[in-house]
A and B are shown apart, each in its own frame.
Chain A
Amino acid sequence: MFDLGALFAGLEMVFSWEALLYIFLGMAVGILVGAIPGLTASTGMALLVPITFGMSPVNALVFLGSVYAGANYGGSITAIFLNTPGTPAATITAFDGYPMRARGEANRALGLSLGSSVFGGAISYLAMFVIMYPLAAFAIRFGSPELFLLAVLGLMIIASLKGEKEGGFWKGIIVGVFGILLGTVGIATTGAERGAFGYPYLLDGIPLIPALIGFLAFSELMVMVSTKDHGEKINAKQTTKMVWKGVWETLKYPFTLVYTSIIGLIVGALPAAGATIANFISYNEAKKYSRNPEMFGKGAPEGLIASGGADNASTGGAMTTMLALGIPGSESTALMMGAMTLHGLTPGPKLFIEQLDLTYAIIFGLLIAQVFMLFLAVYSGNMFAKIVNLPITILVPCVAIFCVVGSYAVRNTLFDVFFMMACGLIGYLMKKNDYPVIGVVLGLVLGPMADREFILTSIRYKEDYSIFFTRPISIGILVLIALTVIYPLLQKMWNKRKLANTWVPVEELEQSAKTGENI
């Protein structure tokens, strides 16, 4: 099951002073990025991918992985202190963190959130260590029809998950198609030129990193500036002793911790699901099994543990899908994929055959990152609070320079910078009109994969498309695709029926009509 040689080689890679330094720096930057409202894990990673050019692949990936994990925790700092989640996933943390802070227990809340994040992360990376090799061994049997269907599955999930808002399903489809369109620009597998106008800068395809910087980071800057949301300031002081107490308190709820971490791991592994959905599900589950469900939303420790554990555990799930199958589970893992490609690595089962030691090194690196997170967050909390208080007037120009430098650094051409700006403007318009940017991002990453594998299937099987319905794994993936389409519809029908069957006493209805309160 484990290749001991590769395992020790991986340990050797990650226990170099350079790798440890990058893990530490990545974690520090990640916590900061996550704590600044408006900057998410993916925004931070988009800005930081270009600075990994000079690093070795291991250092680059553990650095970005640490940023990813750190940002997921960082979001909870402002959620607790200001009731303003630093990242969308930290919304749930604010439910119980802020009431706790209002009771004067901010440090306890911070400790609970930190402890659950660290344990959730550790559980998910240990699970990743156990699951990943068998998963990759299974995935190695995938041929081009299966890989094509896997890419389609990733794209279908975008549409089904974004169907909550009005017109969300179609918005998801539209932006997904747009992403695929952009992703297939350049010279195709057949050698034909597509959508490039013969322009040399586009023949290699759309520059992925500048596009991601534009869609994720530059567009966010525009939103920050146009909303003029200069935010509140963190005034509270962090007490190390109290935070430690909160961390240890986490262990008093082992069931909630393990249970919600497993939910985070599983939901995180689903393409396009991510930490936010994992948090919502685990919070609801924790409330269901709690002895004090009435305390949820009023400062329940279990509520904080559920969100913190699931939040960080989802990173392990998303990384597993990305590394073993080559399918990004979130915007952040799409960026990790981009970074891996830049360093000459191809995520997917082949990575396990060719560079198993590197895969182990990434997992160990992420486990070490959890330890660094614990100490960094406890002992540098006050420093982070000061930096988070940096005014937007200073932050925005600095991040804009990062966007420009990052886009330029990939191919040393200003064309990429202009392209990044164009993507930023499109991303901004999309955000303003509630179009999910993740659709374009996943379309950009999965589109070329779907395109390549479809062409290869056509060539290999002489345009006999019945191959998709005759191979057992293909059929399995087709069933999953069908489920992703049917499940939201069934859920909608089920909810409607449940609502219709809800019996409300006439007295209650009359009372509600008088007071105007919802039942």
Chain B
Amino acid sequence: MKDKWLDLSSRLSIPLFILAAVFLYYLGTPDIVDPKQTFYLVLPIALLIVGIALYLFYLELNIWRNSQEKEQKITANKTSVETWKLFLETYKDMGKLLVSVLGYVIILNFLSFIPATIIFLFVMFFLLQIRNKIMLIGLPIAITLMIFIVFNTLLNVPLP
């Protein structure tokens, strides 16, 4: 039964995102849609929410299915919170990357390229379990300077 829901939610979520994107597209087209009409704003947001909900539902069921397949003791008896802990564990490194890059882009606004990049590399290396002090400090400086020289000096590519 859970498998049936798993397939259905995985099949529906992405098309729903695309549908939401289609409505958003129309919302951003003044010749077709009057943005003041709230219906046009509500529809894509509702579709997005349903799509995200279905996708999260799919992820939770998928984790449940995988854990059943591996015959681990995490089964349907486990609470939803515990299943989500497993989910967060699975996507932890991806989340670290996304948040770090987001943070990097934000601090680029305040600091210039060199200090922001050194900080970003230091944080990323630390998060990815590099513990050697020389590598943690030396590598970010060396890599940043190398990128700066190659892009800015040799290739004339503008840096943030």
Contact = CB atoms under 8 A, between A and B. Distances in A.
Interface in A433-456: 433, 435
Given A401-B117, A408-B160, A433-B14, A396 B26 contact: no
Interface residues of A, number: 50
Contacts of A192: 29, 31
A396 B22 CA distance: 33
B105 A421 contact: yes
Given A222-B94, A393-B130, A421-B101, A409 B158 contact: yes
Given A221-B97, A228-B93, A417-B105, A405 B147 contact: yes
A226 B18 contact: no
Interface in A22-63: 50-51, 53-55
Contact of B104 (A394, A404, A425): A404
B157 A226 contact: no
A196 B102 contact: no
Contacts of A226: 90-91, 93-94
Contact of B158 (A174, A392, A397, A412): A412
A249 interface: no
A418 B105 CA distance: 8
Interface stretch (B69-77, B78-86, B119-127): B119-127
A185 B98 CA distance: 26
A41 B125 CA distance: 26
Nearest to A178: B18
Contacts, number: 127
B124 A397 contact: yes
A231 interface: no
Interface in A277-318: none
Contacts of B31: 192-193
Contacts of B93: 225-226, 228
B120 A397 contact: yes
Nearest to B144: A401
Contacts of A196: 28-29
Interface string B99-122: 011101100110000000100110
Contacts of B105: 404, 414, 417-418, 421
B46 interface: no
Given A50-B157, A167-B11, A435-B14, A404 B124 contact: no
Contacts of B159: 405, 408-409
B124 A414 contact: no
Closest 4 CB pairs of A and B: A54-B156, A397-B124, A195-B25, A197-B28
Given A178-B18, A195-B29, A404-B160, 5 more contacts: A54-B157, A167-B11, A199-B28, A400-B101, A414-B160
21 contacts: A181-B18, A193-B29, A193-B31, A195-B26, A195-B29, A197-B28, A222-B97, A392-B128, A393-B125, A397-B121, A397-B125, A401-B117, A401-B143, A401-B147, A404-B105, A405-B151, A412-B158, A417-B105, A417-B160, A418-B105, A428-B94
